Structure 1
Amino acid sequence: MRAANEMGIKTVAIYANEDRFALHRFKADESYRVGAGKKPIAAYLDISDIIRIAKQAKVDAIHPGYGFLSENPEFAEACSANGILFIGPTPEVMRTLGNKVAARNAAVAAGVPVMPATAPLPHDIEASKKLAAAVGYPLMLKASWGGGGRGMRVIESEADLPSNIEIARREAAAAFGNDEVYLEKLVRRARHVEVQILGDRHGNLVHLFERDCSVQRRNQKVVERAPAPYLDEATRASLCESALKLGRAVNYTHAGTVEFLMDADSGQFYFIEVNPRIQVEHTVTEQVTGIDIVKAQIRVCQGATIG
């Protein structure tokens, strides 16, 4: 809202009933209640009601923020079908990169190093055990859609697998509306480093360097810093170029974060996922580069070119 206001653009907010006194409702030029009769999370996931409000308020574009429907290709398609700009990547890109398994496949095709992992796990637990054994323990169980640590579990041995898959599926379904999960090789001494990318609709794609986010609690990032102090220039260049290779391969537009794990012992880095949206930590990059990423996203939708 601040970015839009500074650009002379009026804003419309939505709020669940429980958020009727929330600050964002009063900071917007207009605000409307969404998902009447639904609990807060379900209200903010109500695509048809969001579109109803958008049409009623005659909005030109929707910025999805960094949660809820921000990585949902069906929402992006609903916006497009109703003549509303979705401030983010295309539905096709979101389907490829919003799903962690599909994103891995795209990274492999683009020549980007990836962490050993399984395909989406079947509901047959014995088949899942075989897939896990093929990668080798210890493993990290992850939700295929979404992030924020939801659905993530460390799996030390086969005995941990059945109960954790069940819990992770429930968490993923509740948070992202999809219970698909997969297993990834766990690197015990890992650094978590991510590259901010930004693309326009004219085929230009740049990186805004990296952020280190190794300090985490319960798989949630606690401290972000930029630049990553342990990278030499050659590794930094290779890391950022890997992010761009993947982005170019899928014709990425708008802002996104390409995440990597780096083995602290070998120095080898591996692609793990893409967040095809802004993140709460994008402000760290803004401080370092002086670029307002939200304004940049809006300008991309207006047809601007990255110089």
Structure 2
Amino acid sequence: MSALTSPARRPVRLPRPGTLVALLLGVVYLVPLLWIVLTALKSDEVIASQPNAIVFTPSLSTFSDILEVASTSVWTSFRVAAAVTVLVLAVAVPAAYALGRRTGPWWARVVAWVLALFLVLQMVPQPMAVIPLYGILAEWQLVNDVWGLVLADVALLAPFAVLLMRPFVLGIPTELYEAAQMDGASGFRTFRSIVLPMLPNGIATVGAIVFIITWGEFIYATTLLTDPAQLPVSGLLAQQTSLYATSWNRLMGLALLTSIPLLVVFLVAKRRLVEGLSVGAVK
């Protein structure tokens, strides 16, 4: 009688550390998101009696109550964020091209001083600039005007956008500039025909980041826009919290509705955003 041989056991594969970290981050982000959704689906009665209840009858009354005011704030924020993104890119892309070209040792020193100035500007706390900025915009009669907020946000984010865009310009081979110069192309022609077609990832990355930052900007938005009918989403969310009470279901419902445009922007620019961040990380 031949001896029975047991089948060889396959080695147990432990999950990789990267997978464990991804799962942990997923739990950390998904649990608060799930709690936001559950709170938004609670009626005022449930919020008052059982604010931490997990099992309850869902209600869409919160969304019907906030839909009109949320749509107005979302439209205001969209106009501001879109205008700021376009203007910042119109400034940052040519400026990054100018600061990314090494045309001589003297220009390299100028670039170093300009980049140092941009870094210093990013270190200045935003609340310190509110009072002088408010005075300037008041003289221009742009307080409580959407375009006043747009100018303030452009001044805030333009240096940051130049710093982000410059590594993408540095990634363009210098041989292309030399070939364009040998062909007699002007600086503007080189920028238009060579630089711009090679910066879609950089433009998409910087544009998406600027749009997201502008969408959630709070200090300038609540200081320069004093009309409650013109408040962007950041000001509208702050209104849901008062000294005596907090409307948690409306606050969470507004958080969900106002995050939809950001989700759309991320999904549209996802591929270029990932590629762009990878390029910027190694330059």
TM above 0.5: no
Q: With structure 1 as the length reference, what TM-score do the two structures score? A: 0.25
More helix as a share of residues: 2
Structure that is richer in strand per residue: 1
Q: Which structure has the higher relative contact order (CA within 8 Å, separation 6+)?
A: 2
